[in-house]
Amino acid sequence: MAGTFGATSTTDDVLAGVDLSGKRILVTGVSAGLGVETVRALIAHGARVVGAARDLKKAEAATRELRDEARNGGGLELVELDLASLASVRDCADALVWESKPFDLVIANAGVMACPKSKTSDGFETQFGTNHLGHFVLVNRIAALLKPGARLVNLSSAGHRFSDVDLDDPNFEHTDYTEFGAYGRSKTANILFAVEFDRRHKANGVRATAVHPGGIRTELGRHMTPAAVQRMLDQVNAANAAAGAPAFSWKTIPQGAATSVWAGVVASPDQVGGLYCEDCHVAELSEGESIRTGVRAYALDPERAMALWAKSEEMVGERF
């Protein structure tokens, strides 16, 4: 069932012949882009999806037509979740726990990118607070609902190569803020969270992984001007050329969502557990200048992962 897939594989390619009937899956960020495509692919193969979104009206409009593609009992239920508010995160998690219906897969898809310096409602730097801490609390609060054989897929990014986490100054109180420096920290945190979650839960048959969807034109880049996007592409292509790598090319949304569903339901658990995936395969360690492929060693460091977990518990005031 695993097949051979790559950068141009789509969600339909990787799920061809896969029956997800009876599977219950949580996907965050289902009001646009990758989240909507992920839901479409999963329910088309029979999964029952709980889709979480900050703006339920927007999510309802974005997913209305998807319900017609549901097969073999597949369907979608929407729940409210604002990852930039721990009160909202806890309310969402508590409601799911009260319902007591187990999950086969959680895809932590929602996020923000390269936004101006700002804070969440709890006072955290927005990108770290939304992309990492919101999901950290949500997933840990519903961890008991993950049945043996379940998986957690955290959406990270090649942007993790911009920067490691800074456990001494996570909110940029003493460090100069840069949009992509903050984004890199949050995406590294997504990987480290998967590493430690996998270590803690694999004895119970629950595995975790992180994925890079690729470069896709979605609402995620709404804070970037066309000039900023071009500067980033110029830098990437210059680094790729110096490393002898191909020039950057955009993925389609179905290609971008493919690695999430591949890592979540197609790849074997031992293949992806505690690791970082891209282009529907496990990424290799890479310390070169190119940011097109590969994973930095600091993002898979188990000691760093444990330290981030402890710092995250301290920041949110909750132990898991």
List residues with catalytic annotation: 156, 183, 187
Distances (CA, A) of 147 to 23, 201, 209, 266, 292: 11, 11, 16, 17, 35
Assigned token pair, 152: 């957690």
Closest CA relative to residue 278, chosen from 210, 218, 199: 210
Looking at the chain, list the stretches that DSSP marks H as alpha helix, in order from N- to C-terminal side: 11-14, 33-44, 56-63, 86-99, 126-127, 135-141, 179-201, 226-242, 253-261, 269-272, 302-316
By residue count, the chain amounts to 320
Rounded to 10 degrees, the C-alpha dihedral 49/53/56/61 comes to -70
Rounded to 10 degrees, the C-alpha dihedral 100/101/102/106 comes to -100
Alpha carbon distance 81, 146 (integer Å): 19
Residue 278 carries which side chain, given as an amino acid letter? E
For residues 195 and 305, the answer to whether their CB atoms sit within 8 Å is yes
Alpha carbon distance 147, 104 (integer Å): 6
Alpha carbon distance 6, 17 (integer Å): 18
Residue 201 DSSP SS3: helix
Closest CA relative to residue 264, chosen from 245, 248, 280: 280
Q: What is the largest CA-CA distance in the chain?
A: 54
Angle at 37 between CA 102 and CA 148, to 5 degrees: 20
